[in-house]
């Protein structure tokens, strides 16, 4: 058995942690507003936004990653704009963030959207009658009330983002020491025949997944009680 360097474990783990942290922030900054927009039945082109958000659930991840590669690659129109702005996405840390965000977004948006739609109309109307705006009502009345549903959605989406492989493989490029998250590090270890390393990394991922499961179970019970 070959000796396993600490960096072989710590580097993918740290990269995954940074990815998860930034993705979590993006879920809050973008996922919550998207959920709110999709809860509005009268929203123009709502079906299009809903389709774009839901696609990663029904499309194979590797196919989603391929289309994003074409969409954001250097040969595309957007890729040329990004290139002129000196913004690197493909085969970079930014690409990993985008992959994780897109993979987890549907699991963040759809449950939260359902919770917003099920919020009692009487409470919203009472808030409007008291002079509060729709945004104020959403931020300070609806969200605090459904906070457990929000946390559950964040946990599910984050767990999906952590285990993402297909989209990350296409956008991140699986560059050792640069874009190999813990999931890709397991793939690489198995591919290279380093089964001991793969076992350790898998054990760490299973442990993290169990923590997600325990937290999810806790907040699911709280959501049912409240």
Residue pLDDT, tens place only, 82-108: 888 888 888 889 999 999 999 999 999
Residue 135 included in any domain: yes
Q: In angstroms, rounded to a whole number, what is the distance separating the alpha carbons of residues 60 and 182?
A: 20
Residue 139 included in any domain: yes
Of 40-49, 114-123, 217-226, the poorest mean pLDDT is in 217-226
- What CATH number did the domain enclosing 111 receive? 1.10.3720.10
Q: What is the pTM of this model?
A: 0.90
* Average pLDDT of span 62-90: 86
Q: Which domain holds residue 48?
A: 6-225
Q: In angstroms, rounded to a whole number, what is the distance separating the alpha carbons of residues 195 and 5?
A: 14
Residue 1 included in any domain: no
Q: In angstroms, rounded to a whole number, what is the distance separating the alpha carbons of residues 76 and 63?
A: 17
* Average pLDDT of span 187-210: 91
119-159 pLDDT, tens digit per residue, is: 999 999 999 999 899 899 999 999 999 999 999 999 999 99
* Average pLDDT of span 175-200: 89
Number of domains in the chain: 1
Residue 201 included in any domain: yes
Residue 190 included in any domain: yes
Residue 160 included in any domain: yes
Query: How many Cβ atoms are within 10 Å of 183's Cβ, its own excluded?
Result: 20
Of 40-49, 96-105, 148-157, 166-175, the poorest mean pLDDT is in 166-175
Residue 60 vs residues 75, 82, 123: alpha-carbon distances, Å: 23, 26, 41
Q: Specify the pLDDT at position 143.
A: 94
Contact 134, 149 (CB under 8 A): no
Give me the count of residues in the chain.
226
pLDDT above 70 for 224: no
Q: In angstroms, rounded to a whole number, what is the distance separating the alpha carbons of residues 110 and 57?
A: 11
Residue 55 included in any domain: yes
Q: Hey, what are 83's tokens?
A: 């290139």
Residue 112 vs residues 52, 122, 161: alpha-carbon distances, Å: 16, 19, 17
Q: Hey, what are 166's tokens?
A: 């297909």
Q: In angstroms, rounded to a whole number, what is the distance separating the alpha carbons of residues 178 and 150?
A: 32
């Amino acid at each position: 058995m070959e000796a396993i360097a600490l960096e072989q474990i710590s580097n993918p783990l740290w990269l995954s942690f940074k990815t998860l942290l930034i993705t979590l922030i993006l879920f809050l900054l973008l996922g919550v507003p998207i959920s709110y927009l999709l809860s509005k039945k009268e929203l123009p082109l709502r079906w299009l936004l809903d389709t774009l958000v839901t696609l990663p659930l029904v499309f194979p991840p590797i196919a989603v990653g391929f289309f994003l590669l074409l969409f954001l690659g250097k040969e595309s129109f957007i890729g040329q704009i990004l290139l002129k702005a000196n913004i690197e996405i493909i085969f970079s840390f930014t690409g990993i963030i985008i992959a994780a965000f897109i993979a987890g977004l549907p699991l963040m948006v759809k449950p939260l959207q359902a919770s917003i739609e099920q919020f009692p109309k009487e409470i919203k109307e009472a808030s409007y009658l008291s002079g509060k705006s729709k945004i104020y009502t959403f931020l300070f009345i609806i969200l605090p009330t459904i906070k457990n549903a929000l946390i559950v959605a964040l946990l599910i989406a984050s767990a999906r983002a952590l285990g993402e492989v297909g989209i990350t493989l296409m956008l991140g490029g699986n560059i050792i020491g640069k874009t190999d998250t813990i999931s890709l590090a397991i793939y690489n270890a198995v591919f290279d025949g380093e089964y001991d390393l793969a076992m350790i990394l898998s054990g760490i991922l299973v442990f993290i997944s169990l923590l997600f499961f325990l937290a999810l179970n806790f907040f699911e019970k709280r959501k049912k009680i409240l």
